[in-house]
Amino acid sequence: MSVIVLGSMAFDKIETPFGKTDKIVGGAATYIAWSASNFTRPIQQISVVGADFPPEELSVLEARGVLLEGVQVNKEKKSFFWHGRYHLDMNTRDTLETQLNALGDFVPVVPPSYQGADILMLGNLAPAVQLSVVEQLTERPKLIVLDTMNFWMETAMPDLEKVLKKVDILLVNDSEARQLSGQYSLVRAAREIMKMGPKRLIIKKGEHGALLFQEDHVFFAPALPIDEVFDPTGAGDSFAGGFVGYLDSTKDFSFDGLKSAIIIGSAIASFCVEKFGTTRLRELTRQDIDKRIRQFIELVNFDIALV
């Protein structure tokens, strides 16, 4: 069992209505690795950090079964940095500052030892970087999952179109699905996007849950209603990490298998938002996770006698 994870490892500075942080460790690949390693090991990480990235952060990931051979350390630069502020609704945010730093000239290199992985998780990065990793794999993984964002649709659409043709599942949020497809209805958006390459599509709707589309099938996973979302940063990446980690443990890539994996992803994301950054993800036990999955089952379970 193994999953390759591509994505940023970085610093975030976060302001929410509930408080603010100094620079804390974040980045898509960080959240994905913390989440996926609850279900499968090793996680084969591909990323780049700067000279300022704390070595102890790498050590704790290694202790979780995260292989770092594919993580470059650029000693001449700092790590990627994002500073953002969430609005009162916690669904929208302003970017106050972005420093690409080491990520600016990142050329990913897939270590030979990573070849043969079953799943490739392409975290949100420039589509050209994502494509490069796909092309370096001598054997196509059984499942390639792609995360992307509106920024790349606006600035790198030709590259994004190429990556889309190479992947099995696309993960986007509802506004990105609408932007990518030019359709307001999510059902129509899904139909258009599945013509672009991926045979399956997951549309994340934040506090409104997530939809899975495959051919004419739809599955809806709710988000757990939470007293107060404390920090949404990394929720989408935690979802992705739980999703691919669980799939790597079951190897069931059928529609039913994906449904279960989406519930797992939603459960992990529901933990992520309870504290700043990766704090909550670091504390999770398998018992915590199972308890939360029971809550999901209770949340949507119903029984109707049909005539």
The residues of the shown chain that bind a second copy, judged by CB under 8 A, are 88-89, 184-188, 205, 208-209, 211, 217-222, 225-229, 256, 259-260, 262-264, 286, 290, 293-294, 297-304, 306-307
Distance CA 192, CA 57 (A): 41
Q: Which is nearer to a second copy, 52 or 252 (CB)?
A: 252
Q: Which is nearer to a second copy, 97 or 228 (CB)?
A: 228
To the nearest whole angstrom, how small is the minimum distance from the Cβ of residue 218 to a second copy? 5
To the nearest whole angstrom, how small is the minimum distance from the Cβ of residue 208 to a second copy? 4
> What type of residue is 197?
G
Angle between helix 28-36 and 235-250 (nearest 10): 40
To the nearest whole angstrom, how small is the minimum distance from the Cβ of residue 234 to a second copy? 20
Q: Which is nearer to a second copy, 109 or 293 (CB)?
A: 293
To the nearest whole angstrom, how small is the minimum distance from the Cβ of residue 225 to a second copy? 5
Helix, strand or coil, per DSSP, at residue 112:
helix
To the nearest whole angstrom, how small is the minimum distance from the Cβ of residue 100 to a second copy? 34
Distance CA 197, CA 23 (A): 38
Return the beta strands (E) in 51-130 as ranges: 66-74, 81-86, 93-99, 119-122
To the nearest whole angstrom, how small is the minimum distance from the Cβ of residue 283 to a second copy? 18
Q: Which two tokens stand for residue 206?
A: 């934040």
Q: Which is nearer to a second copy, 96 or 187 (CB)?
A: 187
Q: Which is nearer to a second copy, 68 or 267 (CB)?
A: 267
First to last CA, the chain: 45
- DSSP letters for 234-255: THHHHHHHHHHHHHHHH---SH
> Checking DSSP bridges between strand 143-147 and strand 169-173, what pairing results, if any?
parallel
Q: Which is nearer to a second copy, 130 or 266 (CB)?
A: 266
Residue 82 φ then ψ, to 5°: -130, 135
Q: Which is nearer to a second copy, 144 or 221 (CB)?
A: 221
To the nearest whole angstrom, how small is the minimum distance from the Cβ of residue 300 to a second copy? 5
Check the CA dihedral 161-164-171-278 and report its sign: negative
Torsion of CA 148, 240, 272, 29, to 10 degrees: -70
